[in-house]
Each structure stands twice: as C-alpha cells, then as structure tokens.
Structure 1
Amino acid sequence: MKILIVDDHMVVREGVRRLVATVATAITEAETPSEALAAFRRQRPDVVILDINLKGGSGLEVLRRLRADDPDARIVVFSMYSDIAYAASARREGALGYVAKSAPSDDLLTAIRKAGRGEPFVDGETALAMETLGQGDSDPTASLSPREVQILHMLGEGHSLTEIAEGLGVAYKTIANTSTRIKEKLGVERTSDLIRIAIETGGGRMLRREPRES
C-alpha cells in the first residue's frame, strides 16, 4: 500500500511513518499544500493521511483539491481536533476516515486499512460526538466552506481576528469579511455568538477564552 503523509510537523510525520511502516509498501511525505498536490499527482498513493492545519493553507482545502483531481482518492484526515464540525466538513469533502491525534494509534491504522478498502472510519471519541448530534445532521456549520470552518474554530480557540489573519498569512480585512459572511450564514450578529457555536460544535473541547470583539 502506497501512503502519502501530509503534515507540517516533522516529528508528527516521523511518528506516523514509523506507525504505518507495517502496512505500507512505499511512504511519501509533504508539509505544504503545494507539496501535497505534487506528491499526490506524482505517486498516486493508495491512501493519503492529511492534517487539517498546514503551512500556507487549510488541509480541508487540500482535501477538496485532491478529490477534484481524483474523485476516487482515499483520504484519512488526521487532526488535532476531535470535534464534529471538522469531522463533518471532512466527510462532506469526501474523506473516508477521520482520526484525532489524541486517539489511540490503532485507530489510525484501522482507518488506513479501511480506507485502502474504500471503507469509512471515524475514531471512537469523534464518532460518539457525531452520534450525539444525529451523525452530524444537526451541525449548524454544514453551510460553511472549509476555510470558514477553520476560522470559526480558531475563534472558538480564543484567537482574535487579528491573530487569525497573522496565523493564516492573510490581510485582516479578508478575515473580517469572512467573519461577517459566517455570521450571515449562521444567522447571528456578534462574534461571541460565533464563539458559542464553535464551542458547541466542538463538543466542549475548545478553549473558552473569549477573544476581543473585532
């Protein structure tokens, strides 16, 4: 099984490489969206292990581009976030698997094996949160794009709009406009309402330090 590991942390990639060595015949690594797309097109891996947060872009956007390039791409999202909004977004974009980095290592191996067979898998803790909300059908973030979901959850983690703009390497106005668009889609008026929604859809796992109203 050929596996592509996409993560912007070398230590994580090394750990995943050691873990998947028992099931992989070839392993390729990438740390940026452009590297991921190039490696995918060059290697055509059987399974892609993809992080949500990458240098220079969102893993969810990479997921969407990989699926556009190959609708049969088998992708397992491996994320620090064990919440339903990210899992639901990944599923909507076509990911077969979703495993939080806090999950047991066996869950990632199970997700890889299942993805190799074209079967879905979600780690136990995330699956339980999704089941609580009717398998994600009640997820209020369903109308949001991957980047909008990312910004919503950065707000839920306690970041101000200025901090989000700096972290994503974009202009403050871009983030402010996106925040306004998210509010319109979710039918709320205040940033504090977005934080509440982010926390609720995150299963209570996000930081509850409210950022400044921006």
Structure 2
Amino acid sequence: MVAEGIERLLDDDFELVALAQDGRSLLDIIERENPDLILSDINMPGGNGLEVLKTLRARGDSTPFVFLTMHAEPALAASAMRSGANGYVLKVSAGDELLSALRQVLAGGTYVTPSLGARYLRGRMADLHELTPKQREVLRLVGSGLRSKQIAAQLGLSVRTVEAHKYTIMQILDVHSTLELVRRSEDLGLLF
C-alpha cells in the first residue's frame, strides 16, 4: 500500500522503472534496468537498504540513492550518507518534500530532512559542551591512535586518570568501545 502511494505521488514527475520487494530484487533490478535514481527504504527483507547501497558503491555504481524511511535517528542518517547515500527523507515528511529531495539529488545535490539536521546539530552541541578541555584533549589523542599509556606520557597524567577521562567520554557519547568512541566522535565532528 505504501509503495503504491509513493508510486502515485511520483507518477507525474518520474517514470517508475520497477518496484522491488526486497534487497536481492533491488540489486537485480538495478543491474537489469540501470535506473537514473534509486529510492529505497532502510528496512526490507533479503538485505536492508544500507547493505544494498554499500554493495552498489563497492561495485563502483554511483547511481544516486535516496532513502525514504521511518528511522528518524540522526546517527543512522549520518551513517547512510557516509555510506554513499545522496538523500535521506523521513516517511512522515510531506510528499512535496520527497519530490523536492529527488529533484535536488538528480541535479547533483544531496538532501537530508531538515529536522534530522537540526537534531544532529543540537546533539553535537550538547556533546561538545559536556566535555571538559582535558577530556577533549584525551579524545583527540585517542582519535589519533594513541594508547592510554602514550596519552598519559604526553599529557603528564597517570594512566588511571587518562582511563577515567576516556570512560567518562564514553558514557557521555553512549559508546562501549574505543572503536565506537572514535567513530561516534568523528560523526559528531569532535575529532579535529
């Protein structure tokens, strides 16, 4: 039903080449039809939309790819864009927004639902304000690949103090490993 509604919405401005029910069919259709643009959900059976996008980009396929999804998490939108998406539109958006996003992407631009960008920036600013200058310095050094012992020597701190700063930063950013810490910090623009 949702797909039929989207098809009717796009019918005046776009030619629908094919409709896929799952990730595998989407890949097959893309290979067979060579579309000008791909509109996909993130959740679908047989491989989610992000997996399809990553597969296409790994193959060197640069076909513009737009997600239309119910997932309103800024981190997921950022992950999709880093993976090579050209657009990220929420299903709760007005139909005009989807049409505008698709036109913008086809013209070589990118599009992310504005409310996601605002939430992302609010989250980023909150995260930035919660970190002390010393925590930011520890985070910068963790991001550059240094271990706690090396950071301690460089900053004139004990290893235990460095680990305490790192633990606090991980709690603030809601991550559970050093790798997640670095990735989340990069997503938020905290590493410089």
TM range (shorter): 0.5 to 0.7
Q: Which has the higher contact order (CA 8 A, sep 6+)?
A: 1
1:186 corresponds to which of 176, 180, 183: 180
Counterpart CA distance in 1 for 2:68 and 2:16 is: 19
Amino acid at match of 1:95: A
- The answer to whether structure 1 residue 48 and structure 2 residue 38 are counterparts is yes
- Whether 1:34 aligns to 2:28 is no
Structure 1 position 62 matched with structure 2 position 52: yes
> Hey, what's the Cα distance between the residues in 2 that align with 1:110 and 1:134?
27
User: Which structure shows the higher strand fraction?
Assistant: 1
- What's the secondary structure of 1:76's corresponding residue? strand
Aligned-partner Cα distance in 2 for 1:82–1:117: 25
CA offsets 1:122-142 (integer angstroms, 9 cap, x no match): 11211211232459x98xxxx
Which amino acid in 2 is paired with 1:98? Answer: Y
Q: Which residue of 1 aligns with 2:158?
A: none
Instruction: Kindly provide the CA deviation profile for residues 25-66 of structure 1, in whole angstroms up to 9, marking residues without a partner as x.
Output: 343110111100000011111110110101122211111112
Out of 108, 115, 140, the position equivalent to 1:118 is 108
CA offset at residue 110 of structure 1? 0.9
TM-score by length of 1: 0.57
| Counterpart pick for 2:72 among 82, 89, 97 | 82
Question: Is the contact made by 2:43 and 2:49 (CA closer than 8 Å) also made in structure 1?
Answer: yes
> Distance in 2 between the 1:58 and 1:125 partners?
24
Q: CA RMSD in A?
A: 2.5
Letter in 1 for 2:64: R
Structure 1 gap segments, 5+ residues each: 1-10, 139-181, 188-196, 202-214
> As a proportion of its length, which structure holds more helix?
2
2:17 touches 2:33 (CA, 8 Å); kept in 1?
A: no
Work out the CA distance in 2 between the residues paired with 1:110 and 1:56.
29
Say which one has the larger Rg.
2
- Residues 157-172 of structure 1 mapped to structure 2, 5 A cutoff: none
The CA distance in 2 between the partners of 1:131 and 1:73, in whole Å, is 28
- Name the count of aligned residue pairs: 135
Structure 1 Cα separation of the partners of residues 176 and 47 of structure 2: 22
1:71 Cα deviation after fit: 3.6
- Percent of pairs with identical residues: 33
Contact kept? 1:82, 1:99, Cα under 8 Å: no
